Amino acid sequence: MTAILILAIGIGANAAVFSIVNAILLKALPYADEERLVMVRDIGNHDAKTPMSFPQFVAWKNQKEIFESAGAYSLGSVDMTSPGEPQHFDILRASSDLLPVLGIVPQAGRGFTAEEELRSGPPAVLISDSFWRSRFNRDPSVVGGKLTLDGTLMGWASEDGARS
């Protein structure tokens, strides 16, 4: 009986470790040409949590002999105050090239423009499918509308590039 219990624990532990290794190391990324993707980080002062500055990103992006294209992102959070009930969200800030680099095409509207990624550029937002579904019942007429995030009115870009 002890041998069977030890064998069962060993098989269970082996299966758990394999599941973790498979998910982290062996399973392909859900992006087109995933073998061509690399992540570049600035680890200045030995702090892996130090974000790369926008000028550093632009310098890397301009290394055309090294990279075909480059996209950047950072994590953050915002408070949405309109339309509807106020709500707090975790967000991902993205450069204009991030979606094309990952081979992602928005279901409605368009991705970001180079002008929109600049601090001085017009504010723009893309929403997730789950948010579109839960907040707007996947109503296509909201594409091109506006959201207020952290007190800034942000437009959704429509297919034709017009902003409402």
Least confident segment among 2-6, 68-72, 94-98, 137-141: 2-6
Region 43-65 average pLDDT: 76
What's the whole-number mean pLDDT along residues 97-105? Answer: 87
Is residue 162 very low, low, confident or very high in pLDDT (cuts 50, 70, 90)? very low
Instruction: Report the distance separating Cα 164 and Cα 147, nearest Å.
Output: 11
Q: Which helix (H) or strand (E) holds 127?
A: none
- Residues 158, 156: Cα–Cα separation, whole Å: 6
Task: Give this prediction's pTM.
Answer: 0.67
Write down the pLDDT at residue 109: 82
**Nearest alpha-carbon partner for 74 in 41, 101, 37, 36:** 41
